Every structure is written in structure tokens, then in C-alpha cells.
Amino acid sequence: MRKCKPLLSILGLISLVFFCTGASALHLDKKYQHVEIQTSLGNIIIQLDHKKAPKSTANFMQYVKEQTYDRTIFHRVIKDFMIQGGGYNSGFKKTPSNAPITNEADNGLKNLRGTIAMARTRDPHSATQQFFINSVDNAFLDHRSKSLSGWGYTVFGKVVDGMKVVDKINELKTGRAGPFNSDVPVNAVMIYHVVPYKKADTTDHHD
């Protein structure tokens, strides 16, 4: 797979995080089963998996509450692979991050098309605020073993509405910008807000 090495090196430059601690914080976040990522190209509805990825979902919701993702961009887009965001604003200033979280990639969830996962550095337990959405099945990102090379990337939810938006972003022309030599959308894709979303119909529309 030609894209494996570039991707791993890209994700290796990025971190993602868990600030919430204690059962009360986890319980508070569980009432939010969905979040809406409001972007300049349309909205994406994510269903969170609190049961299989409790630390990752609580971590993500903490950043949502802190409005860390508001006015950020999708700064990494690799066609037929993934779109990544949460780490930079439109001026390529880094967003604030909390302490790294424990890798939960051994939770049985796979990096399938439409799933959302935590980005991280080479250290398996370095995820903070950044996330990515798989635009195709990426089995090589799944957990294989509790080793440096085998830990994988933690999936903590999936797109249930808005895959057309993900695909639209994935098709964008990319180039060099900010601190990155490649893979940055030429026309910035803004994440205006990420907010809790009360979705009555939880059917996977995937469009």
C-alpha cells in the first residue's frame, strides 16, 4: 500500500487528548450520543461509541465543551484515505490540548469508511485533540498487538449522516501551506462549530 508510509508519518506529526477524569465526567458525556461537525462544505453527524471507547469519547466531548474545535480547519486531506482536523485554526496556529489519553484501539472497532478516530504521534498513547475521519477502509490502522508498531489508531464513533461532505472534502485539491509540505486543502475547509446533537433517527444514512 503506497499510502501507508506517508499516512503514518503524517499522523506521527500529530497529537490527540483526555482531560476529563472520574466516573462523573464520563457519565455526563454519555447523554450526548451524537455530535454535529458544522463545516464550510456542510454538516457531518457523528455517533459516538461511549461503551467501547469511553476515554476517547469523554476526551473528545471535553474539547467540544471547551469549544477547541470552533473556527479550526481540516488541515490534512489525503484522497482515498482520510481527512484530519482539530489541531489548527485557519492561520495554522495550534489549538490548545490537554493531557494525552490511553490508546483504546484494542476495543474491537475497526478503521472502516466513515469511522472517526484519534490521531496521534508515533507514541501509541499520545492522542490529544486531533481526529480524523476514514474516507475508505483502512485496516492497516487497526489494532494488531500491544507494541509500538501494532497498537493502531482508536476508533470512537462513526458518521451517520454527512458522508457526502466527507467525500467532498476528500476530493479537494491540496498543496503546501503553513508548516506542512503537502496535503493541505488549497481552499480552506472551516470547522465552524462542533456541538452536541440530539438525533431522533439514529439510522445510518451515510450520505
What DSSP string describes 53-107? -HHHHHHHHHHHHTTTTTTEEEEEEETTTEEEEEEEETT-PBPP---B----GGG
Report, as an integer, the average pLDDT of 195-199. Answer: 86
For residue 110, what is its C-alpha cell? 475497526
Q: Is the pLDDT of residue 61 over 70?
A: yes
Burial class (CB within 10 angstroms; exposed 0-12, middle 13-18, buried 19+) of 127: buried
Say what the alpha-carbon torsion angle 46, 49, 50, 53 is, to the nearest 10 degrees.
-120
Is CATH 2.40.100.10 correct for 4-196?
Answer: yes
pLDDT at 14 over 90: no
Per-residue DSSP letters for 10-31?
HHTB--BB----SHHHHHHHTT
Cβ–Cβ < 8 Å for 12, 4: no
pLDDT digits (tens, 9 = 90+) for 108-163: 999 999 999 999 999 999 999 999 999 999 999 999 999 999 999 999 999 999 99
Closest CA to 130 of 84, 72, 73, 182: 84
Residue where the block lists cell 484501539:
105
